[in-house]
Chains A and B, each alone.
Chain A
Amino acid sequence: MFLPLVLTANPEAVKTENKEEKKDVSAGVIEHIMNHVADANEDHILTINNHHITLPLPCILYRKSTQATKGKLSIFLSSKAEEEFDGYKLDHETGRVIDAQTNKRDAFYDFSITKNVFHMMLGFVILALVFISIKNTYTKRKNAAPRGLQGFMEPIIVFLTDEIFKPILGEDKYEKFLPYLLSVFFFILINNLLGLIPFFPGGANASGNIAFTFSLAFCSFILININGTKTYWRHIFAMPGVPLPVLIILTPIEILGVFLKPAVLMLRLFGNITGGHIAVLSIASLIFILGENGAKLGGAFAGGAMALPIMLFVSAIELLVAFLQAFVFTLLSAIFISMALEEPHHQEHH
């Protein structure tokens, strides 16, 4: 994540501002970090001597219908909107498509293949290749000892299956949810890992995007509740053995809990991944803040000397977090599903 920042942290705009008002360095840095963590309509790969190398991405935009105009669908490559296209324009600061007149993004729906979507698809392709290759090895070398990529993936799959899903969901039920839980785990993991790579195949922040975590949490939400047993729903709406006055307080809390569980999944993953990225980028920014954007070379070196060990440390933690958060999301999904599969208790005989 930090390399593009190093390469692009000297945009002319910031530099000229800097000459006038030095205090703005940190504000520029914050903006830069936020733009990095956020999505974009183009895939910025590298900047060499203020020359940007970007991968244009397809924009799929639907202009909302107003009283004057009807809704309109526009599909074009982001490179076409460098100047103006179909009333849209690419904002180079944020890398987002904006309305050419209002400079805002609220007059249209953006269904573009954005940077995050593109990198997520890359992750999909990488995982698909890995899994298909492994699957072929399994069918070709039947009952043989695992080797190569298979040997790396199998312990993860076996650990999740035998140590997590089987005990949580039960010997007879876990197989039904195995494809979903493993898919979620590996899908989050690959996007976390890709997010850690600072250059091309990575560089995006897909799994740290709230929309990404929302979608996966929503899938878990659906899966939890469509598998809810009678007991599960009774425990939510009318907890057995609880007097009515208490139920009036308890039931709204329980209903809230139904939505809170996936919301927690969503926020935890988002917070951990985005937080990690912001931390690494912020520490890297020490170089630019102390060096006052290249004005003070000594400060830049001091900032670098301070930032480097901390960055290494935080990056290592991020690597751990990449696995951990994928695991936690999967584990909690499994636990919530098992809670929904709850069978009647002995207490109900009273």
Chain B
Amino acid sequence: MHILAFDPMQLITPDLGMVFWTTVVFLLFWFLIGKFALKPITKAIKAREHFINDALSAADKAKAEMQQLQSDNAALLKEAREEGAKILKEAKDVKESIIAEAHNRAKDEAAKIVADAKVEIDSQKKAAIAEVKNEVSRISIDIAQKILGRELDSNKDQQAYINSLVDKIKAN
């Protein structure tokens, strides 16, 4: 009968030396790696998480701002267009009113010129008539003198008489 040289109890009995070394190596690992690697690593991961979250929210904010800006721009454009149309319309109105005014003023001016011309013509006409009257009376006296062949006593009376005749003619 073969006897096992191996004691199965050995397998489930913690060996003192191994316990000692495992504890030493693990505590060293815990202290060194935990302090100099795991902590900085987890910190870096956390910091990056914050960084990414911040970057994402900043991007969202920028996007929203851009949208706001775009709608603002559209509104501004619309306003500008309306303003332009309004200005154009006003300019048109002003133009029309200016033209109308100029038209009216020209009309008035023309009327005034015509009226002035009429007054001038009237006065010229009166003067001319008066002159023609004087001339006619003088010519008439001359003619009468010649026709009558005699010199009247009083030229003055004759003249008054003729003038009254002429007036009568005018009245006629």
**Interface positions of A (Cβ within 8 A of B):** 17, 21, 23-24, 27-28, 30-31, 34-35, 37-39, 60, 93-94, 109-114, 116-117, 120-121, 124, 127-128, 131-132, 134-135, 138-139, 142-143, 154, 157-158, 161, 175, 178-180, 182-184, 186-187, 206, 209-212, 214-216, 218-219, 270, 274
CB distance from A77 to the nearest CB of B (A): 16
State whether A158 touches B45 (Cβ < 8 A).
yes
**Interface positions of B (Cβ within 8 A of A):** 2, 4-6, 8, 10-23, 25-30, 32-42, 44-45, 47-48, 51-52
From A128, A209, A219, give the contact of B18 (CB < 8 A). Answer: A209
State whether A157 touches B42 (Cβ < 8 A).
yes
State whether B38 touches A111 (Cβ < 8 A).
no
CB distance from A134 to the nearest CB of B (A): 6
Chain A residues near B34: list those with CB within 8 A. 179-180, 182-183
Q: In whole angstroms, what is the CA distance A158 to B19 when docked?
A: 31
Known pairs A178-B38, A179-B39, A186-B33; list 9 more (Cβ under 8 Å): A38-B10, A39-B15, A117-B18, A128-B29, A138-B44, A182-B38, A183-B34, A211-B18, A274-B11
Q: In whole angstroms, what is the CA distance A125 to B18 when docked?
A: 18
Closest A-chain residue to B16, C-beta based? A109
State whether A93 touches B11 (Cβ < 8 A).
no
Interface of A is mostly: helix
Q: List 17 A-B contacts (CB under 8 A).
A: A27-B2, A38-B6, A112-B17, A120-B25, A128-B32, A131-B33, A135-B37, A135-B40, A143-B51, A178-B39, A180-B34, A182-B42, A183-B38, A186-B33, A219-B23, A219-B26, A270-B12
State whether A21 touches B2 (Cβ < 8 A).
yes
State whether B42 touches A161 (Cβ < 8 A).
yes
State whether B21 touches A113 (Cβ < 8 A).
yes
State whether A183 touches B30 (Cβ < 8 A).
yes
From B21, B30, B36, B41, give the contact of A180 (CB < 8 A). Answer: B30
CB distance from B118 to the nearest CB of A (A): 99
Chain B residues near A111: list those with CB within 8 A. 16-17, 20-21
With A117-B18, A131-B38, A135-B41: A218-B23 Cβ-Cβ less than 8 Å: yes
Q: In whole angstroms, what is the CA distance A309 to B16 when docked?
A: 39
CB distance from A179 to the nearest CB of B (A): 3
CB distance from B1 to the nearest CB of A (A): 9
State whether A124 touches B38 (Cβ < 8 A).
no
CB distance from B44 to the nearest CB of A (A): 4
With A183-B29, A210-B12: A114-B17 Cβ-Cβ less than 8 Å: yes
Chain B residues near A143: list those with CB within 8 A. 47-48, 51-52
From A30, A117, A179, A214, give the contact of B30 (CB < 8 A). Answer: A179
Chain B residues near A39: list those with CB within 8 A. 15, 18
Chain A residues near B14: list those with CB within 8 A. 210-211, 214
CB distance from B75 to the nearest CB of A (A): 39
Closest B-chain residue to A17, C-beta based? B2
State whether B36 touches A135 (Cβ < 8 A).
yes
Q: In whole angstroms, what is the CA distance A175 to B45 when docked?
A: 13
Chain B residues near A178: list those with CB within 8 A. 38-39, 42
State whether B29 touches A34 (Cβ < 8 A).
no
From A35, A94, A117, A128, give the contact of B21 (CB < 8 A). Answer: A117
Interface centre among A35, A60, A117, A218 (most CB of B within 10 A): A117
Q: In whole angstroms, what is the CA distance A111 to B16 when docked?
A: 7
Chain B residues near A112: list those with CB within 8 A. 17
Closest A-chain residue to B13, C-beta based? A210
State whether A110 touches B37 (Cβ < 8 A).
no
